[in-house]
Structure 1
């Protein structure tokens, strides 16, 4: 088997750390090894065991104090410092991981890091050059579907990250369990701009009609943005998401059938002769 990683990104407060914790607990339950890495220099605490921590290299609190920077400027400095030290710090830290290891990177929530700056493109290029198969997991708060304008903005942010990072990409609507009304959820999992455009026009006014049409046309032209729902009260929800990510990065595809079953957490019968027992995901 190879080396695999998830890069968990998305706006601040969208549930990235909750997803990482739920994924970790699910993998523990199915006896699958996973290591969660904190890449947020402003993080204060974790609900999951943290295998690697960027704060061992640089922390936002120290940067703000020593350089008299605000939170946003300090975070940008921290991430640029990470970019400069990818080989020296991250390279050394990853030397302890090899074949059959699976890393989940819990990233900060400033979207400009993914859409405008070079730091995460340099980061994923470093991982790929080191032999890691990487999937981006973009988290968007399901509350966005209650306002079609916010949802369109979130979908365009996801599209920008897909274009910028050029990696296998899985988009997730988080906090679905907190939605009071799920009747229209399916309309946003596979968004059809032609159906959403009238709602967008009604909520933004006539002077934005041309802009709304251009945004809808952009999503329709690429036809790349779709979402998977994450309901942390439903174990099948995280299992379905993990299955899609495994498929995107071909996790376990190069293993023997019995080993592949074990890697996917499905086990194998004692009398299995190692034939075509691979999981269908």
Structure 2
């Protein structure tokens, strides 16, 4: 059976669970069968009905207590345990599907898991073998665009996830409804399209003690610029139009057939 869906990735606080909740509401109104999966073993507050939960298999708290691990070490242990028991995940999902279904998978947010351990990469590779056609939706809090240094870090984090997951990826700036655009150094469109990152690094502090940091940031941005690797989609989960726009982009990225415009009339995304 072919599954399509989204791997929802992003740092803690970026709005992953809120986005998943809004997306599930939207898919249900579009009459798309949806299976909701939580693969974040540290997520103990899930604002949507969860069909499959990694915490049924392993929890961060149990790993910390049993093996005397810190939070990050426990997260790594949990993902390694999921990889060793990957058949459990496949069985859970396929047993719920009566027809071709859409998967919404809430992923762990800690960037270290994607850089220091290949468990998540191997899990995604299993998805590909099972013909689960997934794209990644990487969420970042739009508040960081007001600080050039922090936004460079957001760009690099998005790029790091792209390299490690090796699937089509859509990068998203969340909570745009909370932005004060008067405080931004450039128009918001600049941060969506990133036409020339030199303008971003020009805003970094020229203090002598920070010159090496500025030079490093400039070189990294030159590489990103050269290959046009990163752009962002704005998102306000309360906006029907923005949610539908992102869903259409995800449909293109994972291969799901495009939504017919007549199916979108009357759709309401609850807050």
Scaled by the length of structure 2, what TM-score is found?
0.88
**Equivalent residue for 2:192?**
189
Preserved contact between residue 176 and residue 231 of structure 1 (Cα < 8 Å): yes
Q: Aligned partners of 2:250 and 2:159: how far apart in 1? A: 17
Aligned-residue RMSD, C-alpha? 2.1
Match of 1:164 in 2: 164
2:76–2:117: 8 Å Cα contact kept in structure 1?
no
Q: Please give the residue correspondences for 1:72-87 in structure 2 after superposition, counting only pairs within 5 Å.
A: 72-87=72-87
Q: For 1:53 and 1:156, locate their aligned partners in 2 and report how far apart those are by CA, in whole Å.
A: 30
1:42 Cα shift? Answer: 1.5
Deviates more, 1:176-185 or 1:160-169: 176-185
Aligned to 2:204, the other structure's residue is in SS state helix
Q: 1:145 offset after TM fit, Å? A: 0.4
Could you tell me the TM-score, scaled by structure 1's length? 0.85
Correspondences of 1:206-225 after superposition (within 5 Å): 206-225=211-230
Instruction: Provide the C-alpha distance between the structure 1 equivalents of 2:46 and 2:212, rounded to a whole number of angstroms.
Output: 45
Structure 1 residues 82-141: Cα deviation after superposition (integer angstroms, max 9, x where no partner): 111112x11221322365211111011111222332111111111110011110110101
Residue 242 (str. 1) matches residue 247 (str. 2): yes
Task: Write the distance in 2 (CA, Å) between the matches of 1:188 and 1:202.
Answer: 22
1:174 CA drift (Å): 0.8
Question: Aligned partners of 1:265 and 1:42: how far apart in 2?
Answer: 36
Give yes or no for contact 2:198–2:218 (8 Å, CA) kept in 1.
Answer: no
Which 4+ runs in 1 deviate beyond 2 A?
28-33, 180-184, 200-210, 264-267
Q: Does the 8 A contact of 1:3 with 1:99 survive in 2?
A: no
Provide closer, same or farther for how the CA distance between residues 193 and 67 of structure 1 changes in structure 2, counting only shifts above 3 A.
Answer: same
**Aligned residues between the structures:** 259
Describe the SS at the equivalent of 1:95.
helix
State yes or no: 1:228 paired with 2:233. Answer: yes
CA-to-partner distance for each residue in 1:15-68, whole Å, 9 max, x for gaps? 111110111112223322222110111221211110100001101111112222
Closer, same or farther in 2 for the Cα pair 1:235/1:206, shift >3 Å? Answer: same
Q: Which runs of 5+ in 2 are unaligned?
A: 266-271
Shift of 1:233: 2.7
| 2:93 aligned residue | 94
Gaps of 5+ in 1: 254-259, 268-281
Q: Distance in 2 between matches of 1:70 and 1:114?
A: 17
- Tell me: CA distance 1:231–1:202, structure 2 relative to 1, closer, same or farther (3 Å): farther
Q: Following the alignment from structure 2 to structure 1, what is the Cα–Cα distance between the partners of residues 72 and 198? A: 37
Shift of 1:229: 0.6
